[in-house]
Structure 1
Amino acid sequence: MIRVFNIPALTWTLTAILLAGGTYHLWQAARSPHLTDRVNNTLHTLMNTLMAAMLWNLAPSTTLAQIGLLAAAALWFIIQAVARPEYKLLCAGTQGRLKCAYHALTMTAAALMITLMTHPTTTTPTTPANQTPTPMPMPMAHAHHTMTTTPTTTTAAPLGHTPALLLTLLFTTAALTFLILLLRTPTTHPKTRQHHTRTEHALEALSATTMALMFATTT
């Protein structure tokens, strides 16, 4: 498991949130009559699944493929956000374009997070050039083992304070925005459009909170 947090319970909680969001988007993709909506929801399912897998360092050999898929997803949402109004199947209206632009940013941030957290940097003890290492006495029982192994320390690649802080603030703002939208949307019957919108706002708020917490731990 990649120790994004020192509290395992919090990692489990974030994993559950990501998988719950992915399951919801998968359900939406299966029941949507529009191809664009099915693609968009499938991409969200993919992103949530990859982020959950990243928390536990699953399938590290496919890192490049994961980053490529998320980058392609980000490009797809950018295309929708800047598409001409004639293309009715893509993001339409100011609100729709802003939503697609935000999703493009989310996909890009997920790709960045996977890049940072799955590419460890290895550090080894260094000796000044003008100083000769002094051999230390050791028991014979450990001498052969020490000659054949070199201790290393593996740490996650640093992101840098400024980019991580900006992304943390951005996703914190997004979480608050979706929470306000959730509270402003009236509670209605489960089968109405308003109920569906409330569910989307709740999931977006949870997803943004998760991203904010993950980037906050990289500072």
Structure 2
Amino acid sequence: MFNTPALTWTLTLVLVVGGIHYALQAIRSRRTTERINNSLHALMHTLMAAMLWDAAASTTLAQIAVLAAAALWFIIQAVARPQFRSFCAGTRDRLKCLYHSLTMAAAALMIAMMAIPAIAPPAPTGSATTGSGMSSHGHHASTSALGPATASLHTAALAIALTVIFGTAAVIFLILLLRRHRRPAHQTTGHIQATGHSARLDHVLEAGGAAVMALMFATLAV
């Protein structure tokens, strides 16, 4: 996707670290719902990392189906009645589930958008394409072969909108991280301190994941 190997490796590292964290959380989780949620996050991070290197293209439809199902799963948790305490409870948790549903749906959409070159008509002779990774030049060649110019315009507009959304999300998570970091020491002792450390780590991973999504959608928008 990116012409700069250093940036590709950096984003891959962020996604891999996040995927490992969620996989470990899934193993340690005692509740079935938490185990499923963390497993889905680990899977999404893995698929996004693979997307950076244009890997696993043969399983595109399966990836989209799984991520779409994951998005629906988080929506169900967000709108579930309060009696279902294993699902998202409280306004903050429901908002978190809605955001996670958005990330899953956005990941599925990105995979679908990157699959366009595989289903589009052959590009005209002399089009600039690259054989490795998902470069922006390859994206331009694929969208030019789709036919109507409005299709590519709509795709670019959607990518820009998602870039703004996830860029904003990254900033919000960073603000939450800074606010929690500035909390007085006497309020972060014992169990509260351990909980706060876990929350800070979650904010770091959420901010990193949102930033990666924003950069990837920005690449699709140009």
Shorter-chain TM-score range: 0.7 to 0.9
Q: Could you state the TM-score of these two structures normalised by the residue count of structure 1?
A: 0.82
Query: What is the alpha-carbon distance in structure 1 between the residues aligned to residue 170 and residue 104 of structure 2?
Result: 16
2:174 — aligned with what? Answer: 179
1:164 — aligned with what? Answer: 159
Query: What is the alpha-carbon distance in structure 2 between the residues aligned to residue 60 and residue 161 of structure 1?
Result: 22
User: Residue 195 of structure 1 aligns to which amino acid in structure 2?
Assistant: H
Q: Measure how far apart 1:153 and its partner are.
A: 5.6
The answer to whether 1:72 aligns with 2:59 is no
Contact 1:57–1:118 (8 Å) recurs in 2: no
Moved more, 153-162 or 34-43: 153-162
User: Residue 110 of structure 1 aligns to which amino acid in structure 2?
Assistant: A
2:99 — aligned with what? Answer: 102
Q: Could you report, residue by residue, the CA deviation over 1:113-143 in whole angstroms, capped at 9, with x for unpaired residues?
A: 1111233143124xxxxxxxxxxxxxxxxxx
Q: Could you report, residue by residue, the CA deviation over 1:32-65 in whole angstroms, capped at 9, with x for unpaired residues?
A: 1111101000000000000111111112111100
Query: What is the alpha-carbon distance in structure 1 between the residues aligned to residue 127 and residue 199 of structure 2?
Result: 50
Query: What is the alpha-carbon distance in structure 1 between the residues aligned to residue 128 and residue 61 of structure 2?
Result: 24
Query: What is the alpha-carbon distance in structure 2 between the residues aligned to residue 48 and residue 161 of structure 1?
Result: 23
- Find 1:201's aligned residue among 200, 203, 208: 203
Query: What is the alpha-carbon distance in structure 2 between the residues aligned to residue 52 and residue 117 of structure 1?
Result: 13
1:185 is paired with a residue of what secondary structure? helix
Q: Measure how far apart 1:152 and its partner are.
A: 6.6
Query: What is the alpha-carbon distance in structure 2 between the residues aligned to residue 171 and residue 30 of structure 1?
Result: 28
Query: What is the alpha-carbon distance in structure 2 between the residues aligned to residue 172 and residue 65 of structure 1?
Result: 28
Count how many residue pairs are aligned between Structure 1 and Structure 2. 191
1:113 — aligned with what? Answer: 110
Query: What is the alpha-carbon distance in structure 1 between the residues aligned to residue 56 and residue 176 of structure 2?
Result: 36
1:217 — aligned with what? Answer: 219
Query: What is the alpha-carbon distance in structure 2 between the residues aligned to residue 184 and residue 153 of structure 1?
Result: 47
Q: Could you report, residue by residue, the CA deviation over 1:146-182 in whole angstroms, capped at 9, with x for unpaired residues?
A: xxxxx77653354633211110110011000000000
1:45 — aligned with what? Answer: 42
**Structure 1 residue runs of 4+, over 4 Å off?**
151-154, 187-191
Give the structure with the larger helix fraction.
Answer: 2
The answer to whether 1:15 aligns with 2:17 is no
Query: What is the alpha-carbon distance in structure 2 between the residues aligned to residue 58 and residue 171 of structure 1?
Result: 23
Query: What is the alpha-carbon distance in structure 1 between the residues aligned to residue 37 and residue 74 of structure 2?
Result: 8
User: Residue 162 of structure 1 aligns to which amino acid in structure 2?
Assistant: A
Gaps of 5+ in 2: 130-137, 144-151
1:167 is paired with a residue of what secondary structure? helix
- Find 1:29's aligned residue among 18, 26, 29: 26
1:145 — aligned with what? Answer: none
CA RMSD of the aligned region, Å? 1.8
Contact 1:22–1:45 (8 Å) recurs in 2: yes
- Find 2:57's aligned residue among 49, 55, 60: 60
